[in-house]
Amino acid sequence: MAITKEKVEELSEIARRIRRHIIEMTAEAGSGHPGGSLSCTDILVTLYFHVMKVDPKNPNWPERDRFVLSKGHAAPALYAVLAEKGYFPTEELKTLRKIDSMLQGHPDMKNTPGVDMTTGSLGQGLSSANGMAIAGKLDGKDYRVYVLLGDGELEEGQVWEAAMAAAHYKLDNLTAFVDHNGLQIDGPITQVMSPEIIQEKFRAFGWHVIDVDGHDFEEIAGAIEEAKNIKGRPTVIVAKTVKGKGVPYMENQVDWHGKAPSREQAEEALKSLI
Amino acid sequence: MSELKKSTRTSFAEALLEVGEKNSNVVVVAADSASRYGDFVKRFPERSFNVGIAEQTMVGVAAGLALSGKIPAVTSYANFLAFRAIEQVRVDVATANLNVKMIGTDTGFSSAWLGFTHLALEDVAAVRALPNIVIIDPADAMEAYSATKAMFDYIGPVYMRLRGRKDEPVIFTKEDKFEIGKGRVLVEGKDVLIVACGGALYDSLKAAEILRLKGIYATVVNMATVRPVDKKLLTELTSYLDKVVTVEHHNITGGLGSAVAEFLAEKGSGVKFLRMGVKDRFGTAGSEEMLKRHFGLDSGAIAETVENFIKEIS
């Protein structure tokens, strides 16, 4: 479905709120991963507020589209999206990383309504997403499976096992995103252990590849639409993103991978997200 | 005991086919290990998947299938499942109690000449360290058959140990009942309690015969479910037996011996205790018989060890 100007404005507004939640949640928790949460926010917002067929009142609805956050450390972004979507009250977000909270440091499907797969150990999400997509085909259901990988995560070998299997089983009901923000804990991905050229690697594995600006709702939505029409193979959308997007002092700064802002830093960040 | 011989792998495949005929939600995922599923793959090709030599993805795919209401089986050499894919078993399957049936094959000494990489002597310890997973180590092909049926009747993650040699001795009949979590007394004796599972049961029974001729009477229990271990039965038996020996084709750390020891120690049972198994060593290449002798686990060695144990503490 083509995306209207009004819809883009609506998504931008939601994304702004999500980013504020991410800052507030991680500041409140005193730990967490703001950088990679902010970089994938616009992708998650497009999925949950424009594309995916889900029912927050019935999180386990068998016909729903599935989402696997393979880069599980971006949990704050997913939790904020699920809360805004109505799976649970936004007040819950304040409990991030608290003992007994439904919002653990990484997504846990047992605890959190709307979380389709437990993740947090990088490299595992594409395999389970494959299983969901295979089950959909087996049952003749038309739900779609979305999975978000980090670009650093592509260094994990299991990703490529799963990439091979997805193409082998012609999982055209599966769409993967790569949050290509270019940074991992130890520095730029190209310096630590380059997974480049990401597009060519996936192409060689038999995938349909689309490049987008990961902060452009029209491009993201357009690519998802294109993926729906690709038959016989899975699609990967390589989304060029900015780590820390929306908070100037965090943007493209590797330090903000896994560090929470202080109270003062959070206040400053929120001023950029008005 | 009969003279029959049959592979636990063959029995598993027979039971799987029957389970699959009855329940269309049963699916199998192989990692270049499809032959272990026997005729199921031919009978139900649409429900059979093979991810190639990629055990981690095999387990992940199975988790995804389980989340959509399927009842997937995964299988590989036990080490490649219980070690290579242990994190996928932990994060994808165990934590959410997913209904995935995990079958580690060629366990104990049954991979024989393949040597240490393939000899699965630590797999139970690895899996037992994770919450939620039921662990079954069937003693023979008949038990593997009934345990497979029970495993699919049970809702939740199960790890089953199989061997896979044509010359596995048969102890039970198909009519023998198997119940998850229930140990079974096979021989009664007043002097010592021998608790065994899997491939170690046969030689433990033979050892009990040898001991009987020497005037030592052993109670032999088949503890096919390593987790949950049958606490009720152990409590009953240790109320009048004060010497306990566990026997397993596994490292003495983390397997059946540990499970029984942990329970009896915490209970304050005060029994004299001996774990028999591989004593913190890695495996090596050899025939199954050679390896049992090498690690002191053939029937003669079990009988001798038990006899010495009783003498030393009496």
Distance to chain A for B96, nearest Cα, Å: 6
Which of A110, A127, A132 is the closest to B56 by Cβ? A127
pLDDT in tens, chain A (274 residues): 579 999 999 999 999 999 999 999 999 999 999 999 999 999 999 999 999 999 999 999 999 999 999 999 999 999 999 999 999 999 999 999 999 999 999 999 999 999 999 999 999 999 999 999 999 999 999 999 999 999 999 999 999 999 999 999 999 999 999 999 999 999 999 999 999 999 999 999 999 999 999 999 999 999 999 999 999 999 999 999 999 999 999 999 999 999 999 999 999 999 999 9
Residue B2 predicted with pLDDT over 90: no
Integer Cα distance of B305 and B298 in angstroms: 11
Amino acid type, A103: L
Cβ–Cβ contact B70 with A under 8 A: yes
Which residues in chain A are contacts of B47 at CB distance < 8 A?
Answer: 138
Neighbours of A119 (CB within 10 A): 28
Cβ–Cβ contact B92 with A under 8 A: yes
Cβ–Cβ contact A121 with B under 8 A: yes
Give the max Cα distance, chain B. Answer: 62
Do A162 and B57 make contact, defined as CB atoms within 8 angstroms?
yes
pLDDT at B3: 82
Cβ–Cβ contact B131 with A under 8 A: no
CATH topology match: B8-161 vs B184-313: yes
Amino acid type, A49: F
Do B92 and A138 make contact, defined as CB atoms within 8 angstroms?
no
Which ipTM was obtained for this model?
A: 0.94
pLDDT at B314: 81
* Chain B residue nearest residue A166, CA to CA: B51
Cβ–Cβ contact B62 with A under 8 A: yes
Do B59 and A127 make contact, defined as CB atoms within 8 angstroms?
yes
N residues, chain B: 314
Burial class (CB in 10 A: 0-12, 13-18, 19+), A91: exposed
B247-271: per-residue pLDDT in tens?
Answer: 999 999 999 999 999 999 999 999 9
**Residue pair B105/B48 in contact by the 8 Å Cβ criterion:** no
Integer Cα distance of B98 and B93 in angstroms: 5
Which of A109, A121, A165 is the closest to B61 by Cβ? A165
Cβ–Cβ contact A112 with B under 8 A: no
Integer Cα distance of B57 and A70 in angstroms: 13
**Once rounded to an integer, what is the mean pLDDT over residues B116-129?**
96
Q: Is A159 helix (H, G, I), strand (E, B) or coil?
A: helix
Residue B12 in tokens? 């598993």
CA angle at residue B253 from B85 to B115, to 5 degrees?
60
Which residues in chain B are contacts of A126 at CB distance < 8 A?
Answer: 60
CATH number for region B184-313:
3.40.50.920
Cβ–Cβ contact B67 with A under 8 A: yes
Do B91 and A118 make contact, defined as CB atoms within 8 angstroms?
yes
In degrees rounded to 5, what are phi and psi of residue B275? -100, 125
Do B68 and A136 make contact, defined as CB atoms within 8 angstroms?
yes
Start-to-end CA span in chain B (Å): 32
Cβ–Cβ contact B257 with A under 8 A: no
pLDDT at A185: 96
Which residues in chain A are contacts of B85 at CB distance < 8 A?
Answer: none
CA angle at residue B120 from B122 to B55, to 5 degrees?
100
Q: Cα separations (Å) of B82 from A115, A128, A274?
A: 26, 18, 50
Put simply, the chain A residues between 30 and 69 with a CB less than 8 A from any chain B CB are 62
**Which one of A108, A153, A158 would you mutate to disrupt binding with B, by most B Cβ within 10 Å of its Cβ?**
A158
Do B67 and A133 make contact, defined as CB atoms within 8 angstroms?
no
Distance to chain B for A158, nearest Cα, Å: 7
* Chain B residue nearest residue A116, CA to CA: B67
Which residues in chain B are contacts of A169 at CB distance < 8 A?
Answer: 49
Do B96 and A110 make contact, defined as CB atoms within 8 angstroms?
yes
Which residues in chain B are contacts of A162 at CB distance < 8 A?
Answer: 54, 57, 60-61
Domain layout of chain B by residue ranges: 8-161, 184-313
Do A139 and B68 make contact, defined as CB atoms within 8 angstroms?
yes
Integer Cα distance of A254 and B279 in angstroms: 48
Cβ–Cβ contact B268 with A under 8 A: no
Residue A86 in tokens? 């109505």
Q: Which domains does chain A have, with CATH numbers?
A: 5-271 (3.40.50.970)
* Chain B residue nearest residue A120, CA to CA: B91
- Class of B8-161 in CATH: alpha beta
For residue B282, give the DSSP letter: -
B34-77: per-residue pLDDT in tens?
Answer: 999 999 999 999 999 999 999 999 999 999 999 999 999 999 99
Among residues B314, B58, B285, the alpha carbon closest in space to that of A168 is found at: B58
Cβ–Cβ contact B95 with A under 8 A: yes
pLDDT at B1: 67
Which helix (H) or strand (E) segment holds residue B15: the answer is helix B8-22
N residues, chain A: 274
* Chain A residue nearest residue B96, CA to CA: A110
Q: Is B135 helix (H, G, I), strand (E, B) or coil?
A: strand
Do B63 and A138 make contact, defined as CB atoms within 8 angstroms?
no
